[in-house]
Structure 1
Amino acid sequence: MRFWSEALDYRPLREPEEDWAILVPREGKGPQLALKLVSSEAHNHTRHHLDLYATDQAAEVERLLRLGAEQVDWRYEQGADYVVLADPDGNRFCVVQKDG
C-alpha cells in the first residue's frame, strides 16, 4: 500500500484493514484503486498489471526505483516505449513513455 500510495500520489480512503485498502487521489478526482493482500507469490501468479504513463519516463523510473520498485530482466522488442519494473511485492508493471 505504501509503495502504490507514493507511486500514484494517492492516500487511503479510510483506515486500511489488515488485508484490504482503498486508495484515492490525494487531491482532485481520479479512479480509486483497491488493494487486497493475497497469499500467492507474485512470481507464481500474476495478480495485476498496471501501466503508468509518464512524459519523462527515465525520471519516473528512477523515482519508482527509489520508492522500492525493482528492475525486471525483460526482453524488449525494438522500439519499445515501456520499461518493466516490479513493485516491492514482485508484481510487475510498466512505465510507458507518453507523447507530449
Structure 2
Amino acid sequence: MLRIGSVVMGVGDVARASAFWMRALDYVPREEPEDDWVVLVPAAGSGPQLSLGLSETPVQEYPRVHLDLYAGDAADQAAEVERLLALGARRVDWHDYPEDADFVVLADTEGNRFCVIDTGHS
C-alpha cells in the first residue's frame, strides 16, 4: 500500500525557505541540508515531511497544489496568520475568496502559496 512520504516544494533559496518553514511548523532538518535540497520533519515526532528543492521555475499565480495549514478556530487562525506574516510570509490578494471564507491565502518567503484554514468554521 502506498502512502504520502513527503510534500515537495520548489524554492529559489533553500536556506531561506527552510528557515521560514522550520519556524512556521516547528520542523527540523531530517539530515544535514544541502545547498539545493532539504527534507524537514516535525520536531515533536511523526507527521508529514516537507521537502524543499532548488528550482528555477517561476512561482505559479494559481498553483495546482498547495499546503493547507489547519488552525483551531477564527481566533487561532488570525493569530497564526499574524505569526506567519512576522516570519516573512505575505498576504496574497486573492480575488476568489467566497463571501464567508474559512481560509486566508498567504505566500512563503519564496512566493509559494499556502492557506491557513479556520477548522472551527461552520
Instruction: Tell me the TM-score normalized by structure 1.
Output: 0.91
Q: Identity, % of aligned pairs? A: 59
Deviations 1:13-44, CA, capped at 9 Å, x for gaps = 11111110000111121121111110012146
Q: Does 1:33 align with 2:50?
A: yes
Q: How does 1:1-100 map to 2 (within 5 A)?
A: 1-43=18-60, 46=63, 48-55=65-72, 56-75=76-95, 76-99=97-120
Letter in 2 for 1:71: R
Task: Tell me the distance in 2 between the aligned counterparts of 1:78 and 1:45.
Answer: 19
* Superposed structure 1 runs of 4+ greater than 6 Å apart: none
Instruction: Tell me the TM-score normalized by structure 2.
Output: 0.75
Across the aligned residues of Structure 1 and Structure 2, the Cα RMSD in angstroms comes to 1.8
Cα contact 1:47–1:91 (8 A) shared by 2: no
- Return closer, same or farther for 1:48/1:35 CA change in 2, 3 Å cut-off: farther
Deviation at 1:46, TM superposition (A): 3.6
Letter in 2 for 1:89: E
How many aligned residue pairs are there? Answer: 100
Cα contact 1:48–1:91 (8 A) shared by 2: no
Could you tell me which runs of 5 or more consecutive residues in structure 2 were left unpaired when the two chains were aligned: 1-17
Could you tell me which runs of 5 or more consecutive residues in structure 1 were left unpaired when the two chains were aligned: none
Letter in 1 for 2:33: P
Cα contact 1:5–1:23 (8 A) shared by 2: yes
Letter in 2 for 1:65: L
